[in-house]
Structure 1
Amino acid sequence: MTDFDDLLKANQEFADHFQLGGFDGKAHAGVAIVTCMDSRIDPLRMVGLKHGDAKIFRNPGGRVTEAALEALVLGVHLLNVDRILVIPHTRCAMAASTEDEIHEKIGASTGQDVTWHTFHVIPNQRLALDEDVRKVRSHPLIPDTVKVGGFIYDVDSGLLTQHA
């Protein structure tokens, strides 16, 4: 037995009933979502979408990083994206800790000094969201015709609140 047998078994069951093949890889609802990697977030279902409707980019804190911008530019020009949602969430570990606290926790877990690594904590989630939406709206390769919105997802109620 390997470390991944349970997942491979589940994948085989998934594949035995797989009906999602044949998609062209485009965002059929024209949507791209940048959100956190938090497992409490179901990015498609929370906005009423299904497989093939949207492009999803996830990272700690749901920030618009250089990699996220790259994905959004590709989505806009190659994959039918014309609406972009930036969605951080409540009770996010990246917004609830300082850089020093994260360093301390990771350092304790690894038994080594990790202060050389930046974890990009979010001291003010609303300001960060505003900044991220501005980054997308002002990017020279994302046309003004693309609609960009900033929302916060409440992990306890499932509701989105628009902030930008």
Structure 2
Amino acid sequence: MSTPNTTPDAFAAEFEANTSYAASFSLRGLEAKAAKGLAVVTCMDSRIEPLPMLGLGPGDAKILRNAGARVTEDVLRTLVLAVHLLGVERILVVPHTRCRMSAEDEGKVHEAIFAASGIDTRSLELRPSPDVRGALRGDVQRIVSSPYVPDSVAVGGAVYDVDTGLLERVV
């Protein structure tokens, strides 16, 4: 296995952009709590803009992103912290259409990674699901069933259509 490339030049454009961003930074003083009491679990797909998609702005919600918008142990851990310490009273899970994580099953995704890079990822649980709505229902149930998430927390799920920008309420 090769050593990862840690050359500073690999991120030069991003650090330059950050300097411009910081020059007009306007979020100083924003509270850490979710102003609208909302946490959103969604996919890392760059076609998703969680805040504008839901009519929200900075500070309104806690946004958790991962491949496939799956409720993993780490997502559940983060939601528990958000509920108990950061003002979250509602949780919305939002996977999307045409997601790579819904195209195939676990074995086929591992095979695709191996074919592309020669890396064996079978020791990782990737959690793809060809049944987006079924996986969404299961993930919402996982949150609802957690002994660490109070019954007073509203939990829902919707599928985001990357071609229209619309949400389809599922749970």
TM > 0.5: yes
Deviation at 1:138, TM superposition (A): 1.4
**Residue from 152, 158, 161 that aligns with 1:154:** 161
Instruction: Name the aligned partner's letter for residue 148 of structure 2.
Output: L
Look up the SS of the partner of 2:101 in the other structure: helix
1:3 paired residue number: 10
CA distance in 2, matches of 1:13, 1:96: 39
Look up the SS of the partner of 1:15 in the other structure: helix
TM-score, normalised via structure 1 length? 0.94
Look up the SS of the partner of 2:116 in the other structure: helix
Deviation at 1:115, TM superposition (A): 3.7
**Is 1:138 the counterpart of 2:149 in the alignment?**
no
CA distance in 1, matches of 2:170, 2:115: 36
Across the aligned residues of Structure 1 and Structure 2, the Cα RMSD in angstroms comes to 1.3
1:98 paired residue number: 105
CA contact (8 A) 2:70 2:127 kept: no
CA distance in 1, matches of 2:123, 2:39: 33
Percent of counterpart pairs with the same letter? 51
Cα deviation, 1:2-59, whole Å, max 9, x if unaligned, reads 1111111101000011011112211001000011110001111100000001001111
2:3 paired residue number: none
CA distance in 1, matches of 2:121, 2:74: 23
**Residue from 40, 54, 69 that aligns with 2:76:** 69
**Residue from 35, 42, 54 that aligns with 2:61:** 54
2:42 paired residue number: 35
TM-score, normalised via structure 2 length? 0.91
Deviation at 1:104, TM superposition (A): 2.6
**Is 1:121 the counterpart of 2:117 in the alignment?**
no
CA distance in 1, matches of 2:80, 2:124: 28
Deviation at 1:114, TM superposition (A): 3.7
C-alpha change, 1:136 and 1:118, in structure 2 (3 Å) is: closer
1:109 paired residue number: 116
1:89 paired residue number: 96
Deviation at 1:88, TM superposition (A): 0.5
Deviation at 1:144, TM superposition (A): 1.1
C-alpha change, 1:96 and 1:147, in structure 2 (3 Å) is: same
Unaligned runs of 5+ in 1: none
Instruction: Name the aligned partner's letter for residue 91 of structure 2.
Output: I
Unaligned runs of 5+ in 2: 1-7
Across the two proteins, how many residue pairs are aligned to each other? Answer: 164
CA distance in 2, matches of 1:20, 1:95: 36
